[in-house]
Structure 1
Amino acid sequence: GLYQTYFCIGSNFIMEARECSDLCDLYEFYQKFKYKISCLEFNEDDYRKLLSLKHYPKNILDHGQTSYMLFDLFDLREDDKERYGEFFEECINIIKSTLKDRENRRIERNGIK
């Protein structure tokens, strides 16, 4: 599967409903394919090259470093909030809250009580 979306998150960025939903979508994608994918982080130059679509992606992906923070985030590792900071905890809370909202809507749609 290919997951492709563009959104910006960061500790100096207010996440609106769309970004929260996209973060949860990315979490669900990770959960579905976690044994088949890698979570990578890039330096700014490689990231710009990747987004420009003007460079061969494999070369850029080969330079990416494993992002243990993303693995911890998508495993909802709350015990790592001290290591990664307040924004990490906020992202975990957003994912959990969005998942709960989605489950409640699914229950309402299906008339489950």
Structure 2
Amino acid sequence: MPTVHSHSKRSLLKGLFAVILAFAAATPASAGELLHRPADNNQWPENLIRAVQEKLNSLGFDAGKADGIIGPRTRQAISDYQQQNNLPVDGQISAALLEALGFEQ
């Protein structure tokens, strides 16, 4: 006859297995998202991001608050600007974007 101790162990193992299974099921999408997530905030200094946001806002592209953080509104503003100026559209700050916006390199 099973003891209370072995029943608790079995329940714990089942719970642990369920958590691992749930994590494994969620991992491919999460991992893919992380692989495609841009590292803009690490790649560009905050003051440059802020200047790009201010420039985009002044040109009528709604980049949101010029806070030096690349969020969804900034990405959309960059994409819209890139599209209207025949640049590769990726929503990223790049040398081509900076040049088109008139920033010195």
- Name the TM-score, length of structure 2 as normaliser: 0.21
**Greater length-normalized contact order (CA 8 Å, ≥ 6 residues apart):** 1
